A and B are shown apart, each in its own frame.
Chain A
Amino acid sequence: MSAASAREATPKLRFTAVAKEFVAPRTGKRTLAVTDVGLSIEAGEFVCVVGPSGCGKSTIMNLVAGLDAPTSGTITMDGRPIAGPGADRGVMFQDYALYPWLTVSQNIGFGLENGTPGRGLSRAERDARVRHFVELVRLKGAEDKFPHQLSGGMCQRVALARLLANGPDVLLMDEPLGALDAQTRLILQVELLRIWGETAPRAERKTAIFITHDIEEAVFLADRVVVMGTGPGRIRAILPIDLPRPREEGTRADPRFAALTKQVWELIRDDAYQAIG
């Protein structure tokens, strides 16, 4: 077997029988957040994770990010177990986690300035990289503004630019569009795919895990949708989304889009009803 084919055989990320149990600090009560998670994600793949609240979507993301360790099972990246947080896996948090005392540019450059991604880069190179991503997410003219002066959609772009500026291999996004109004969401979904590299060949795309509770959003964005269920959190089904790329507004009118959406909803429905009591 050649080196190249060996690398191809190793998925970017692999979950093997992953379970995570939380122990409440005071009561000592144990909660099984997720169990029996097995999943392989190829390099350049866009995977959406959907499920009702309490299905452990965010737990999955924290485990890949290395912010939490699984209670049992293993998660590997390029064949190596994940040992802790690292800039090779960039995280975009639900409420963006921007630094309110820094400007747009300073936020985007935060990892380059203070973390591992900036190592070996000169000041000029860092600045150029920040400028590049400012332009990519269309924030030119807003570089010196502070987060509180921006709309939700603009904050989301800053967070996305910061994520990308650190040059991670894997993008982890936890409901990044969750706080936006419906119209802005639709626009940013298309933009997200553009920035992810939808039009680029697959080898140049980033690997992405996108957590959402919005079924249509998941179907619109993903190569595969991972449907999770509750009690305890686990994978119910993995659906390939064979809609053509690049996806545009018209994609939503595709009958296959409606069929896939319906299929995901049917998988989630029972758990979702249970979740709201």
Chain B
Amino acid sequence: MANSLAPSPSIGLRSVPLTIWRAIALPLLLLVAWQLWAMGLPADTRAPSPAKVLAGFVRLTLAGDLPLALIQSIGRVVAGFLIALVLGLSLGLAMGRIRWVRDGLEPIVESFRPIAPMAILPIAILFLGTGTPAALSIVAYAAFFPLLLNVMHGVSRVDPKLVLAARTMGVPPLRTFTHVILPAAMPSVLLGSRLAMGSAWTAIIAAELAVGAKAGGGTSGGIGQMMFVFYAYSIDLNGIVVCMIVVGVVALLIDRAFRGAERILVRGREAT
């Protein structure tokens, strides 16, 4: 009987909702097909397979190479993001509130914005060399624009009545800024931070790849350079795939962490 109190024997597979089965069916099928295809190849093939990728992941993790590279890359992203946060927040607040600052800076911002972070790379390497400073500057550059633009728009779109209400309550200007304008713009600041962190992470991989390329393994380190080494020297496709997956998972985790922070910090407001 369907509504019998006895424990159902079909717990397990059947308790997984149908939608989840639908969602994982195709990826699972592709993985299986990939594995089968790889198993049909000669034994000394360089072609990656799911089993080899998994083995590679375990090997790189245990050897400490992968965690070390990851820490290095994340460290650079955080540092670059913080630089961008300081600049983007202060300039965005100024541009969003003060007309002449905006009028004066907008042309410069708008002319640099379409220039992709990677296009800055040659200049960065020439001026800063192939080490951390070059990678950092690329990351900061990539993270700066989403932050600046979102902070600026968030601040300029603060409901003027909230500011007027504070004035009629005798709230001094600085306090109005910290207690009205800043919290009112908080959703945009957090959105900008999330997008900035996304571009920063994308940029660091590319920057490390490119900086690594120039230095021939050089001093850059990080997961991007690790990929470069697998590609240019050891030709380890399984290693490259491990890195790809790790990069993707980290991006996902960063995004989720920021969304979680948004939910907590923007409490009391409907999701926008």
Contacts and interface: CB of A to CB of B under 8 A. Distances in A.
A147 B161 CA distance: 15
Interface residues of A, number: 27
Size bin of chain B's contact surface:
20 to 34
A67 B268 contact: no
B198 to A, nearest CB: 25
Given A97-B162, A110-B166, 4 more contacts: A99-B162, A103-B268, A111-B169, A117-B170
B170 A102 contact: no
The prevalent SS among residues of B at the interface is helix
B180 A99 contact: yes
Contact of B164 (A67, A114, A146): A67
A142 B186 CA distance: 24
The prevalent SS among residues of A at the interface is loop
B165 interface: yes
Given A97-B159, A103-B268, A148-B269, A86 B183 contact: no
B166 A115 contact: yes
A166 B183 CA distance: 22
Given A67-B164, A101-B186, A116 B169 contact: yes
A133 interface: no
A132 to B, nearest CB: 18
A81 interface: no
A246 interface: no
Contacts of B170: 85-87, 111, 115-117, 166
B171 interface: yes
A86 B164 CA distance: 11
A147 B165 CA distance: 16
24 contacts: A65-B168, A85-B167, A87-B168, A87-B170, A90-B169, A93-B165, A97-B162, A97-B164, A99-B183, A100-B268, A100-B269, A101-B184, A102-B268, A110-B166, A110-B169, A111-B169, A114-B171, A114-B179, A115-B166, A115-B169, A116-B170, A117-B170, A146-B267, A166-B169
A166 B169 CA distance: 7
